[in-house]
Amino acid sequence: MPKVSDEHRAAQILDAAMRLAATEGFHRMTMAEVVAVSGLSAGAVYGYFRSKQELVRAIAQRAVGRIATTIDALADAEPPVPPAEGLEAVLDRLLGLSDELGYDVPALAIQGWSEATRDPEVREILGTELLRVRRAWRDFAERVRDRGLLSPEADVDAVGNALMAMLPGFIVFRTVFGDVTPRSHASGVAELMRQPPSR
Amino acid sequence: MPKVSDEHRAAQILDAAMRLAATEGFHRMTMAEVVAVSGLSAGAVYGYFRSKQELVRAIAQRAVGRIATTIDALADAEPPVPPAEGLEAVLDRLLGLSDELGYDVPALAIQGWSEATRDPEVREILGTELLRVRRAWRDFAERVRDRGLLSPEADVDAVGNALMAMLPGFIVFRTVFGDVTPRSHASGVAELMRQPPSR
Amino acid sequence: MPKVSDEHRAAQILDAAMRLAATEGFHRMTMAEVVAVSGLSAGAVYGYFRSKQELVRAIAQRAVGRIATTIDALADAEPPVPPAEGLEAVLDRLLGLSDELGYDVPALAIQGWSEATRDPEVREILGTELLRVRRAWRDFAERVRDRGLLSPEADVDAVGNALMAMLPGFIVFRTVFGDVTPRSHASGVAELMRQPPSR
Amino acid sequence: MPKVSDEHRAAQILDAAMRLAATEGFHRMTMAEVVAVSGLSAGAVYGYFRSKQELVRAIAQRAVGRIATTIDALADAEPPVPPAEGLEAVLDRLLGLSDELGYDVPALAIQGWSEATRDPEVREILGTELLRVRRAWRDFAERVRDRGLLSPEADVDAVGNALMAMLPGFIVFRTVFGDVTPRSHASGVAELMRQPPSR
DNA sequence: CATGAATGAGTATTCATTCAT
DNA sequence: GATGAATGAATACTCATTCAT
C-alpha cells in the first residue's frame, strides 16, 4: 500500500523534473537527476513515466498549462481595461508564477517550443493547450472592443492573436536583453495605439 | 596552398551543421552527422571548429545574422508604409529566406533561444546581433511616426520593440499552429491600430 | 542486494586493470580492454571508478602496497641477519609476488614512478605508501646495528635508505639487463661491506 | 641546399622532443607539439624520424647517453676516493646536467625505463648504453679496491653493480620524496661500510 | 623538395532503460 | 511490488601519419 497516492507521486516526479528542466534544459536533464531530486527510485520513476520522452511531454504540457493559467488575469482585468493593461497584467502574472513555483517558467516555455520543433506529439500538446489561450485572448479582445476601446469593426481574432503574440517576444527579450519589464513591454502596444493627429 | 579557401570550408561545414540543427535541434545533431553531411573528415571539421559548442555558437550567430538581414525589408518599405505592412514584409522575407537557404530559419531561431538559456556566450552573441535589429525597428518606427502614421508623441523605442516582439510570436505560432501567415499575423497590428469611434 | 560485494567487484576490475597495465603500461591500457578482461560492462566499471585516471591511481596505490608487503620479509629475517641477506629476502619476495599474482609487479612499479612524474596525486599516494617502507628499512637497519652487524655509530636512517634504494635499481636492471638475480644484486652490498685489510 | 646540416636539424628536433618528453612524458608528447616547438614542418620532422616510435627511441638513447656521461665524474674522482664520494659526485653531475640542458634528465630516465618495459628495441638500446655505464662502475670499483678502500677479495663486478644500482633509487626517491640530496643518498653507502667494532 | 591540411581509426565517457533480487 | 546495479550503444574529440599542391 503506497503511503501517498499515485497522483501525488507523479506530481512529485514532475516537480523535480520541471525544476531540473528549467535550469538545465530537457536534454541535459538526466533521468538519474530526476531520480535523485524526486527522492524515488529509478524503477518508481519509470513506473509513472514510461520514458524520458513521456516525461518531457508531461513537462511541456504542464508548463504551458501553467502559462495558460496566467491569462486568467485577463478575466480579472474587467472593468473595461485597455489592451496594453491586459497584456501587462498577464506578463506580471507570468513572472509572479515563476517566483511562486520556484523555477523559471519562461525558460520551460522555450524548452517546450524547441521540443515541439521535432516531436509532433509535443507540438500537438502545445497546440491544444495554446488554443485555450488563444480563445481567452479573443474573448478579451471582444470585451475590449465592445467597451469601445477598439474600433467596432476590429477583427477580434486578429487583435487577440497580436496581443498573445507579444508573449513569446517578452520571453525571448527577457532572455537575451536583460532590460525588459512587463510595463516596458506592454507600453509598446499602448504607444502603437495612440491616435495619430486627425487630419 | 589549400584547394579551397578557409572561409569556403568553414561555410561548407556551417551549412551542413545549420541544415542538421534546423531539423534535429542542436543536441540531436551529432558531430558524426556534421562530418558526413559536410563531406569532410572529423579532423577537418575540428580544424575549423574547436568543439561542438563552438560550432553551435557559430550557428546561432549566423542564424540570427540571417534574421537580422530580413529587417532590410523595413528600409525597402519606403514610401510611408504603416507598421503592419512593414511587419508583414519582414515576415515574408523570413519565410523567403528559409526557402532560399533550404533550411528552416525560424526553427534555428528557437534553437538559439534555447541555447541562450544556458550558454552565456550564446546569450551575448544573440544580444549583440539583436541589438542591431532593435535599432532598425526603432528607426522604422521613427520614420513611420515622422510620416504621420503614428502619434507625434509616440515613443518610437516602445513601438519598435512591440513590432519586433511580434517576430518570436510568429515563429512560435507557426510551429504550434499551422495556420499563421505573414498577412494574418501582421493584420493583428493593423486591427489594433484602427481608430475607435471618436466619441 | 548485489550478487557480489562491492569490494569484490572493485577488486575484480582492479585485477584486470593491473594485469593489463603490467603488460601494456598505463596509457596503452584502454578502458575497453579493462571492460573486456574484467568481464563487466563499461557502465559497471565506471560505477566503481569514476575515470581512467582514478583507476590508474588505484592501481598505483595497490601496486606499491603490494611491494610494501614484501618488506615483511625483513621482519621475518630475524635472528641477526646481515643487510645483504635482508635485501635478498625482499627481492626474492618481490619475484614470488609476481608469480603468485600472475602479473609483473616491478613493471607496475615503473609505471607508477612514471605516472608520479606528472600526476601529483599519484606522487602523494606513492609518497605515503613508501614512507611505511622507509620506516621498515630503518627499523631493520636498527636491529642489524644493535646486533653488532653494523658499526654502533652507523646512521640507521641512511643505511635503511641505501638498502631500500637498491630496490629500484633491481627493478630497472631486471628490465634492461636480463641477468640480475636477487642473490647477485644483494651480493654487491655484502662485497661493499667486506672489511678492508686492517692496516 | 639546406641552410643547416642534417645533423643540426635532427638535433633541433630531438631537443624539442626531449624538452617535451621530460615535462609531459612520452605518450602525452604529441607530434604536433614537436613540430611546433622544433619550428619545422610536420613533413620535415617525419623526414628525420620515420615515426613517433623512432623519435621516442632516439630520445631514450640520448637520455641514457647523457646519463652515461655523468659517470665521467668517476674517472675525475681520482686520487683514491671512497665509494660513497664517487657516488655523490655522479649524483651531483646528474643534477648539474639537468640544469645545463634545461630539462629534467631523471624524468626522461623514468620515461625510458617505462618504454623499455614494452618496446624491446628501447630495451636493447638501454641495455647497450647502460653496459658502458656498468663497465665504468666496475673499473671504478676496481681502482677503489686496488687502492685499499675495499677488501682485496671484493668482487668488483658486484660492488660496481651495487653502486650503480643506487642511481635509480636516487631518481625515484627524488620524485616521490622531495628530501633527497646527492650527499644524503651517498652517505648511506658510507654508513653501510663503517667498520663494525672488531670483536 | 617542403609544406601543413586532411585523414579516420581509436578513446574515454555518458545515460536511458531494464530486470534480477 | 520496489529497488538500484548493470547494461552497452552512442558521442565528442584526438593525433600519428600521409600526400596533394
pLDDT tens-digit profile of C128-172?
999 999 999 999 999 999 998 999 999 999 999 999 999 999 999
Which residue carries 509535443 as its cell? A122
Tallying the residues shown for chain C, one arrives at 199
**CATH code at B145?**
1.10.357.10
Q: Are B107 and B23 in contact (CB under 8 A)?
A: yes
Of all residues in chain A, the one with the smallest CA distance to B183 is A158
**What is the model's pLDDT at position C127?**
96
Distance in angstroms (rounded) separating the CA atoms of residues C42 and C46: 6
Residue type (1 letter), B81: V
**B contacts of A113 (beta carbons < 8 Å):** 110, 113-114, 172, 175-176
Distance in angstroms (rounded) separating the CA atoms of residues A62 and C40: 40
Comparing CA positions, the residue from A171, A198, A8 lying closest to residue A105 is A171
**Inside any domain, residue C10:** no
Residue type (1 letter), B64: V
Beta-carbon separation of B188 and A150 below 8 A: no
Interatomic CA–C1' length for residue B41 and nucleotide F20, angstroms:
16
Q: For residues C165 and C78, which has the higher predicted lDDT (pLDDT)?
A: C165
**What is the model's pLDDT at position C76?**
74
Q: What are phi and psi of B198, to 5 degrees?
A: -60, 130
Q: Which nucleotides of F are covered by protein (CB under 7 A)?
A: 1-21
| Residues A67-86: b if buried by 16+ CB within 10 A, e if exposed | bbebbebbeebeeebbbbbb
Comparing CA positions, the residue from D195, D154, D79 lying closest to residue C198 is D195
Q: Could you tell me how far CA C36 lies from the centroid of its own chain? A: 27
Distance in angstroms (rounded) separating the CA atoms of residues B42 and B55: 13
**Inside any domain, residue D189:** yes
**Inside any domain, residue C30:** no
Please enumerate in sequence order all residues whose Cβ is within 8 A of that of D32, keeping only pairs 6 or more positions apart, or say none.
D42
- Alpha-carbon distance B8 to nearest alpha carbon in chain A (angstroms): 29
Rg of chain B over CA atoms, in angstroms? 19
Which residue carries 620524485 as its cell? D175
Which residue carries 569514476 as its cell? C50
Residue type (1 letter), C185: H
Which residue carries 524548452 as its cell? A111
Q: Cell digits for C134?
A: 622507509
Distance in angstroms (rounded) separating the CA atoms of residues C166 and D57: 26
**What is the model's pLDDT at position A196?**
66
Neighbouring subunits of D (3+ Cβ pairs under 8 A): C
- Alpha-carbon distance B27 to nearest alpha carbon in chain A (angstroms): 7
**Inside any domain, residue A9:** no
Q: Which residue is nearest to nucleotide F19 (CA to C1')?
A: D43
Q: Which nucleotides of E are covered by protein (CB under 7 A)?
A: 2-21
**Nearest beta carbon to residue C168 from set D107, D169, D195:** D169
**What is the model's pLDDT at position C109?**
96
**Inside any domain, residue A36:** no
| Residues A10-36: b if buried by 16+ CB within 10 A, e if exposed | eebbbbbbbbbbbebbbbebeeebbbe
Beta-carbon separation of D118 and C173 below 8 A: no
- Alpha-carbon distance C34 to nearest alpha carbon in chain D (angstroms): 18
- Alpha-carbon distance C153 to nearest alpha carbon in chain D (angstroms): 8
- Residue among A24, A105, A111, A117 with most chain B CBs within 10 A, to mutate: A117
**What is the model's pLDDT at position D192?**
93
The backbone region for A104, taken as left when phi is positive above 0, alpha when psi lies in -120 to 50, beta otherwise, is beta
Of all residues in chain A, the one with the smallest CA distance to B22 is A117
Long-range CB contacts for residues B126-132, cutoff 8 Å, separation at least 24: B126/A176, B126/B60, B126/B64, B127/A176, B127/A177, B129/B61, B129/B64, B129/B65, B129/B68, B130/A176, B130/A177, B130/B64, B130/B68, B131/A177, B132/B68
**Inside any domain, residue B17:** no
Comparing CA positions, the residue from C148, C152, C62 lying closest to residue C109 is C62
Distance in angstroms (rounded) separating the CA atoms of residues D192 and C163: 9
**Nearest beta carbon to residue C188 from set D165, D190, D191:** D165
Q: For residues C3 and B175, which has the higher predicted lDDT (pLDDT)?
A: B175
- Residue among B192, B194, B195, B198 with most chain A CBs within 10 A, to mutate: B192
**pLDDT category, A68, cuts 50, 70, 90?**
confident
Neighbours of A199 (CB within 10 A): 4
Q: For residues C78 and B92, which has the higher predicted lDDT (pLDDT)?
A: B92
**D contacts of C147 (beta carbons < 8 Å):** none
Alpha helices in chain C (DSSP H): 6-24, 31-38, 42-48, 52-70, 72-76, 83-101, 105-118, 120-146, 156-176, 182-193
Interatomic CA–C1' length for residue C32 and nucleotide E19, angstroms:
25
Distance in angstroms (rounded) separating the CA atoms of residues C7 and B60: 48
pLDDT in tens, A134-192: 999 999 999 999 998 999 999 999 999 999 999 999 999 999 998 899 999 999 999 99
**HSE value, Cβ hemisphere, 13 Å, CA-based, for B156:** 17
**A contacts of B190 (beta carbons < 8 Å):** 158
Q: Are B157 and B77 in contact (CB under 8 A)?
A: no
Interatomic CA–C1' length for residue C28 and nucleotide F7, angstroms:
25
Instruction: Say whether the CB atom of A116 is under 7 angstroms from strand F.
Output: no
Q: Cell digits for C72?
A: 615483511
**What is the model's pLDDT at position D169?**
97
Distance in angstroms (rounded) separating the CA atoms of residues C155 and A145: 104
Stretches where chain D sits below pLDDT 70 are: 1-5, 78, 196-199
Interatomic CA–C1' length for residue A5 and nucleotide E21, angstroms:
26
**B contacts of A61 (beta carbons < 8 Å):** none
Beta-carbon separation of D117 and C111 below 8 A: yes
Q: Is the pLDDT of residue B197 over 70?
A: no
Distance in angstroms (rounded) separating the CA atoms of residues D6 and D42: 16
State the DSSP code for D196.
Answer: P
Tallying the residues shown for chain A, one arrives at 199
Beta-carbon separation of D25 and C185 below 8 A: no
Structural domain span for residue A100? 52-191
Distance in angstroms (rounded) separating the CA atoms of residues B33 and B25: 12
**What is the model's pLDDT at position A1?**
39
Cβ-in-10-Å burial (0-12, 13-18, 19+) of D101 comes to middle
Residue type (1 letter), D122: V
**What is the model's pLDDT at position D99?**
94
**Nearest beta carbon to residue D192 from set C117, C123, C192:** C192
Q: Are D113 and C169 in contact (CB under 8 A)?
A: no
Instruction: Say whether the CB atom of C46 is under 7 angstroms from strand F.
Output: yes
Distance in angstroms (rounded) separating the CA atoms of residues D12 and D5: 11
**Nearest beta carbon to residue B166 from set A110, A162, A175:** A162
**Inside any domain, residue A89:** yes
Beta-carbon separation of B165 and A163 below 8 A: no
Interatomic CA–C1' length for residue A42 and nucleotide E13, angstroms:
21
Q: Return the minimum-mean-pLDDT range out of A22-31, B161-170, C38-47, D66-75.
A: D66-75
**pLDDT category, C10, cuts 50, 70, 90?**
very high
**What is the model's pLDDT at position A197?**
57
- Residue among B128, B185, B193 with most chain A CBs within 10 A, to mutate: B193
Comparing CA positions, the residue from C49, C68, C175, C36 lying closest to residue C114 is C175
Interatomic CA–C1' length for residue D62 and nucleotide F5, angstroms:
51
Q: Cell digits for B108?
A: 534555428
Comparing CA positions, the residue from B155, B135, B158 lying closest to residue B145 is B155
Whether B contacts A, i.e. 3 or more CB pairs less than 8 A apart, is yes
**What is the model's pLDDT at position A199?**
43
Distance in angstroms (rounded) separating the CA atoms of residues C124 and C128: 6
Q: Are B8 and B40 in contact (CB under 8 A)?
A: no
Instruction: Say whether the CB atom of B119 is under 7 angstroms from strand F.
Output: no
CA distances from C149 to C76, C123, D192 (A): 17, 35, 10
Supply the DSSP string of A172-184, one letter for each residue: HHHHH-S---HHH
Residue type (1 letter), D138: R
Q: Which residue is nearest to nucleotide F15 (CA to C1')?
A: D30
**What is the model's pLDDT at position A7?**
79
Supply the DSSP string of B33-88, one letter for each residue: HHHHHHTS-HHHHHHH-SSHHHHHHHHHHHHHHHHHHHTHHHHHT-SS--HHHHHH
Distance in angstroms (rounded) separating the CA atoms of residues D115 and C110: 10
**Inside any domain, residue C132:** yes
**C contacts of D107 (beta carbons < 8 Å):** 117
Q: Are C165 and D123 in contact (CB under 8 A)?
A: no
- Alpha-carbon distance C9 to nearest alpha carbon in chain D (angstroms): 29
**What is the model's pLDDT at position A80?**
72
Of all residues in chain B, the one with the smallest CA distance to A110 is B114
Interatomic CA–C1' length for residue B31 and nucleotide F11, angstroms:
8
Alpha helices in B71-104 (DSSP H): 72-76, 83-101
Distance in angstroms (rounded) separating the CA atoms of residues D168 and D112: 12
Please enumerate in sequence order all residues whose Cβ is within 8 A of that of C152, keeping only pairs 6 or more positions apart, or say none.
C145, D196, D197
Q: Cell digits for B32?
A: 558524426
Please enumerate in sequence order all residues whose Cβ is within 8 A of that of C7, keeping only pairs 6 or more positions apart, or say none.
none
How many domains does the structure of chain A reveal?
1
Whether D contacts C, i.e. 3 or more CB pairs less than 8 A apart, is yes
pLDDT in tens, B8-51: 889 999 999 999 999 999 999 999 999 999 999 999 999 999 99
**What is the model's pLDDT at position B173?**
97
